[in-house]
Each structure stands twice: as structure tokens, then as C-alpha cells.
Chain A
Amino acid sequence: MTSPPKAPTPPFASLPFARVRPGKIITWTLLFIGGVMMVTPLLFMFSTSLKTSGQIYDLRLIPADPTIQNYVTVLADGRFLKWFMNSMLIATVVTLSNLFFDSLVGYTLAKFEFRGRKLIFIAILSTLMIPTEMLVIPWYLMSANLGWLDSYWGIMFPGMMTAFGTFLMKQFFEGVPNDFLEAARIDGLNEFEIWWKIAMPLVTPALSALAIFTFLGNWTAFFWPLIVTTSPELYTLPIGLTSFAVEQSIQWEMIMTGAALATIPTLVIFLALQRYIVRGVMLAGLKG
């Protein structure tokens, strides 16, 4: 039996447009269905937030008669706006602090030779092994003694620097050529200026990854803010939402409105910065 000569595989066979096999279409469809299932809770959250209490048993995703009345009611109450501002302030300040200190320490450990360098590096790295849960009781006592309970500073102080950020920045500063720094030294810049003006602009991808992580982490933080705050004016959005949801009991359309308000800012950040966020996660996952 003679088989027809096999056609040589065209060199571009691996290119995406070369051939669409039925297997690919099935894979794509399954992945698409899975992806839609992943965002279903978000879709129903938004859908229900646009419904009246009489419509919440309606399974339709697109509300028959969408209304923004729930948002008006929740926002008019004023507390969500306050919690939103609290979260924004706290996440921003903590992020700026991490960008400054984590990269300053990372840079110092990466680019200077001095006695005690290794010790400091290992000491900072070892704090990664200490779970927050172990520290909250001492932090609480410390805050009680220093009058930090129920204050912005009380919520923020534990996260002002992180070992993760320091480690990440150190990895990236190690890739900055020493020649650049030496040249700046000869030009008469002092060490702070060399770090700030020469080294920092060279690690912006790492800085943006660190900024995104720190901001999201603090925006969604729950455990410590729950412990340290008691007055509703100081709640962050996640804590405020929990107290609001408990108070609303079975008013699910109101709870979904609150949940949507807590989620919208991170969604906006994600949609605007998707590429950077995904790259940042990959970067941190591999380097870490």
C-alpha cells in the first residue's frame, strides 16, 4: 500500500492563524464557559444591586426594570463615602510608605558593601515567616498603650514596610549596573540623590508591581482593621461593609449594592492596569 507522500509541515503551522483545529474550538469554548462561571458572582452582584427588593427572587441576569435607587440610598447615608475615603487614604499612605522604604532598604542591601548587611537582610527576610495573626495581640497592646487604637495610624502602622517589598526591590536593584551609580558619584550627586534620581527610575516596573500589590492588599485588608477600629467613622470599606451587611440582615439588594461599591474601585484599577497587574503577579511569583 502506498501512502501519499506526507506534505511537509509548513513552517508557519504553529502560528495561531495557520489552522484552526476543532480541538482548539472546543478548548476555547470550555475555557470561555469556565471564565463566565468565574465572573457570575460579580454579574449577579451588580444585577441585584440594580433591582428593587421585590425583584430579587427573579433569576434573570438583566433586571427587568433597572434602578439606581439602591446606590442613591446607600450613598445618601454617607457612611459608605466615609469608609471609601478611609480606605483610599490608608491604602495610599501605606503604599507610598512601602514604595519609599522598601526600595530604599532594598537598594541599600543590593548596592552597598558594609558590615552587618547579610544580618539585616536575613533578619528582614525572616519576618516573612511570622504570621500577622501572631503579632496582632502585641500590636493591640502596643496601640492601647500608645493611644493608637481606633485611629488611622493604628490601622496603618503595621504595614508601613514589608519584607516582601524589600526583597522584591532588592532583586531588581541588583540588576542596575554599578557604572551608572559610579558615574553619578563622580558627577557629585550624594547617595540619596543617586538612589532617588538614578536608581529609582530604572526599576519602575518593580515599583508599579509593588504599588499595585500594596494598594490592593491594604484595600482588601480585613483582620487587623477589624481588631483595631471600634468607631464606625474609622472603618475601612471591608469592615464597614460587614457591619452594614449585618445590619441590613435580609435586604440582599442593599447588601449587593454595598458589596458592589466595595468592589468597583478594584475593578476599575484592574481594567485600567490589567497588563501591569498580571505582569506584576508573574514577576512577584517568580522572584518570590
Chain B
Amino acid sequence: MQPAHSLPPPLKMRPASGLKMRTRRLLWIWSFLALPVLFYSAIRFYPTLEAFYLSLTNWDLLSDPEYIGLENYKRLFADPKFWQVFRNTFLYLIIGTPVSLILAFVIAYFLDRIRFGHTFLRALYFLPFITTASAMAWVWRWFYQPAPTGIINNFLGSLGISPIPFLSSVELALPSITFTAIWAGLGFQVIIFMAGLRAIPSTYYEAARIDGLNDWQVLRKITLPLLKPTTVFLVVFSSIGFLRIFDQVYNMSSIDPGGPLGSTKPLVLMIYQTAFSSYEMGYASAQTVVLFTILLVISLLQLWIMRERG
């Protein structure tokens, strides 16, 4: 036997085994993806289509769904209660997003320059973010109680200031709940802003120092423009969060959810009550489609702003 003869066979087999290998690899790929494809189809896509379909029906769970076209939407848009809910939902956003973003930026901007005790300070700001919203809603609810129970009014009382009806007044209840939500989400925004600040190359700052710019000019001409992607991300992220607010409202107004007089009721709470208290599944589905549309518009707006930039 010639020793050289032992080499060619594997070479000759290459094409055949290569083909087999490709088939085998495809088999692996699709066996990896089989369960996920099933999951996303059955648990994400089919329910989405079903929600659209149900929004065109009248269904109380007892009888079969009845196709009624756009009746649910007509009813919704003619309902003054919906417009109050719509207004409330956007009030959460209009108060919550700017306040939390400005606070988070100021904190991140200064915290980023602190070295001494940095981790400790950062932890203080971040801690509320990892708490359970429903638990902390009850703590805040207690804070907001009238004196002598509520700690804030108790304290104000000791200063001779008349009590503030945080959760029982139609005007103050929504801002009070928004404040709790801002508090809960602030730590996340601070961390993201700090990550954004770190990502700005130091060469920009060096160049600015050579040009003799002061802190304020550096902030306006370098930091803020370069931070735009982070800011846009946080604006969208926090806007979506405020538009979907539920846990805090449900727990802080649980005797009359969304009260007083519906003044704090957001869209998600309306959906919850329509579906699971009144069992009007079709009508509730139409409300979810409205929520979906609002969130979609905001996400597309983000994509559009980011594209313009690039």
C-alpha cells in the first residue's frame, strides 16, 4: 500500500459530506427555531390579530362574538368618559416625561463628575427603580394621607401649614400619582444618562478646553447635542411608560380605581375595567387598539427623529 493513497479519500468525499453537512446544519437551525417560531406565532402574532378582530365585535364571553364593524370605535369616540381617560393618560406623560428627564439629566450630569462615594450615591438614586411598584404605591399612599396618618401632612401640620388633599382632590390626585411614578423610574434614567455621558469621546472636551469654552458652553455645544440619541431613547421609553401607567394608579386609588371621580384613570385601567369588570371584550379590545396606535406613533416618531440625524 502506498502511503499517499490514504489521503485522497477524504478529499473525494468532501462534496458529498459538504452537502450532507449543510442539510444537517439546516436541520439543527430549524430544530433550534421550531419552538420559538411556534411561541411567537401563538403567543404574540395570533393574539395581536385576534385583538384587532375582537375590536370589531360585541362579546360578553357568554354568547358568541357578534361582528358589529366599527361600532365599538364609534361608541368609544363618542364617550366623554373616554376623552377624560385620554386626557388623563396624556397628562401623566406631559407632567412625567419632562420632569423626570430634567431631574435625571441634572443628577447624572453632576453625579458623573463625582468620584468620592460615587457608587454609594448612585445606589441611593437607583434603589427605588428595583422596588415593586405595587408595594411602593402603598408607601406613597400612606405618605399622602391626611394628618395625623400621612407623614407629609403630619410634617406640614407641625409647621403650621394647612393639610394638602393629595389623593382626595380631583386636581391633585393625578400629579401626586405621577410624582410616585417619576420617583420610581428616575434611577433608570440617571443610569442611562450617565452611560450616554461616558460614551462621549473625551477628545471633544479637550478640543473645547483648548478653545476656551466654559462649562455652560461645553454643556450646550457639546454635551447636549452629542447626548441626543440617549435623550431621544429616554423620551420615548419614559413616554411609553407613562402612557401605560397602571400599577401605581390601581394601588393608590383602590377603593375607587381611577378616582376620585375618574380624575386619575388612565387608558390601561379603563381597558382592565371594561374587560375584566364589565366583561365587554369587544369594547375593551377596541381600547387596546387605540393604545397600540398611540404607542406605535410614538415609536415611529423616534425612528424618524433618529433617521433624520444619521
Contact = CB atoms under 8 A, between A and B. Distances in A.
Interface in B222-278: 233, 244, 246-247, 250-251, 254, 268, 271-272, 275-276
B77 interface: no
Interface stretch (A41-49, A171-179, A197-205): A41-49
**Pairs A-B, 8 closest by C-beta atoms:** A35-B124, A138-B47, A16-B115, A191-B28, A259-B135, A282-B195, A134-B288, A262-B135
Interface in A100-151: 101, 104-105, 107-108, 112, 114, 120, 123-124, 127, 129-131, 133-142
A133 B291 contact: yes
Interface in B124-182: 124-128, 130-136, 138-140, 142-143, 145, 148-149, 151, 154-155, 158
A93 to B, nearest CB: 15
B132 A238 contact: yes
Interface string A34-59: 11101101101100100000001101
Interface string A154-197: 00011011000010000000000000000000000011100100
A216 interface: yes
Contacts of B188: 281
Contact of B132 (A36, A112, A266): A266
A222 interface: yes
B50 interface: yes
A129 B107 contact: no
A105 B289 contact: no
A223 B189 CA distance: 23
B32 A57 contact: no
Interface stretch (B33-41, B67-75, B94-102): B33-41
6 contacts: A16-B115, A105-B33, A129-B296, A262-B132, A277-B126, A286-B199
Contacts of B148: 57
A44 B276 contact: no
Nearest to A108: B32
A263 B28 contact: no
A255 B8 CA distance: 79
Nearest to B189: A285
B134 A285 contact: no
A157 B35 CA distance: 13
A39 B124 contact: yes
A131 B154 contact: no
B192 A281 contact: yes
Contact of A138 (B32, B50, B135): B50
Contacts of B183: 38, 41
Contact of A192 (B28, B139, B191): B28
Interface string B72-101: 000000000000000000000000000000
Contacts, number: 250
B218 interface: no
Contact of A161 (B40, B113, B196, B268): B40
B132 A219 contact: yes
A270 interface: yes
A81 interface: no
Contacts of A242: 134, 250-251, 254
Nearest to B188: A281
Interface string A75-106: 00000000000000000000000000100110
Q: How large is the interface on B (under 10, 10 to 19, 20 to 34, 35 or more residues)?
A: 35 or more
Q: How large is the interface on A (under 10, 10 to 19, 20 to 34, 35 or more residues)?
A: 35 or more
A206 interface: no
A274 interface: yes
A133 B138 contact: no
B125 A259 contact: no
Most chain-B CB neighbours within 10 Å: which of A31, A123, A266?
A31
Contacts of B158: 59
Given A190-B28, A262-B135, A38 B36 contact: no
Nearest to A158: B43
B221 interface: no
B255 to A, nearest CB: 8
Contacts of A30: 110
Contacts of A161: 36, 39-40
Contacts of A237: 132
A259 B131 CA distance: 10
Given A137-B281, A227-B276, A286-B199, A24 B114 contact: yes
A267 interface: yes
Contact of A245 (B121, B138, B244, B296): B138
A62 B145 CA distance: 21
A140 B50 CA distance: 12
B208 interface: no
Contacts of B124: 32, 35-36, 38-39
A136 B281 CA distance: 11
A145 to B, nearest CB: 11
A134 B135 contact: no
Given A133-B288, A134-B291, A263-B135, A274 B39 contact: no
B239 to A, nearest CB: 13
